Structure 1
């Protein structure tokens, strides 16, 4: 009988990161399409959950916090390379489940924003969190940026990668 310590690491099937990324990209693109069709650019925020969530249609031709503005196409190409590179890596070298999941999330976020940059020449953002702006303003950092689901995937995936790698280092 094998002990838990000698058991091989559990891995998702090879197709899993591609399916995960596809589902996340579809959700991202669907929310962006909804925002473009139902929100008005430069209109006041539409409250959804008081202090937590408002809908505001904005566009970004750069990266986070509008860095590298007016660089939508080069950034889109870079994002696409990163996203496809991560998925290619996971296909060629299947990883443990947690790593596959977080790298799949990051790939989906990169590809989701790459699609916007390639198709529209700008990234569509619509999620505003007033509570985060209250915190960032209290820290004299200005309003928290308006973002989209692809951004959420990249940030949550990266934070998970960091936290889970710290946990793995302790073992």
Structure 2
């Protein structure tokens, strides 16, 4: 249940934050939030991460749907178990769906979060996907450690 709830919460926060940016800022506008550590800059990305593959965003929406379907499949079949992997999958699914919705509805993703001096621009969905990948790695390491530990005691 945590998987579905977290995915929904991430999706709602992501879409709400993007709506706020689209309503209150114009493309290219910048607003300091916690200078010099964080500012918002409204950007529309029609591609993928780091503005690569510009114009091919809709294909990444379809890929996101496949990723979410795979996460649900593996979760139902027991490959994703334990709270760390549940959280990882929820973050990844919510983030993937958030960016997929943008791509399908607007043809591009609304990005606005810039850390530091501008090493890249992202949104809540991107942050959730990054958090999910980190948790996925941690969860796999924990599972591997537990498997080795239980094997060594047999």
Judge same fold: TM > 0.5, yes or no: yes
- 1:63-84 C-alpha deviation (Å, 9 max, x unpaired): 1101111101111111122123
> Normalising by the residue count of structure 2, what TM-score does the alignment of the two structures yield?
0.86
Find the residue that maps to 1:101 and give its secondary structure.
helix
- Structure 1 residue runs of 5 or longer lacking an equivalent are 1-14, 134-142
Between the aligned partners of 2:19 and 2:60, the Cα distance in structure 1 is: 21
Whether the aligned pair in 1 keeps the contact of 2:85 and 2:135 (CA below 8 Å) is no
Between the aligned partners of 2:139 and 2:85, the Cα distance in structure 1 is: 9
Given candidates 157, 160, 164, the residue that maps to 2:132 is 157
Structure 1 segments of 4 or more deviating over 3 A? none
Given candidates 110, 130, 133, the residue that maps to 1:124 is 110
Between the aligned partners of 1:125 and 1:113, the Cα distance in structure 2 is: 10
Q: Counterpart of 1:99?
A: 85
The aligned length equals 145
- 1:140-166 C-alpha deviation (Å, 9 max, x unpaired): xxx411100000011111012113322
Cα distance, 1:89 vs structure 2: 2.9
- Structure 2 residue runs of 5 or longer lacking an equivalent are 147-154
Which has the greater radius of gyration? 1
CA RMSD of aligned residues (A): 1.6
* 1:130-169 to 2 correspondences below 5 Å: 130=116, 133=117, 143-169=118-144
Whether the aligned pair in 2 keeps the contact of 1:21 and 1:105 (CA below 8 Å) is yes
Between the aligned partners of 1:64 and 1:121, the Cα distance in structure 2 is: 15
Whether 2:31 is the aligned partner of 1:56: answer: no
Q: Counterpart of 2:66?
A: 81
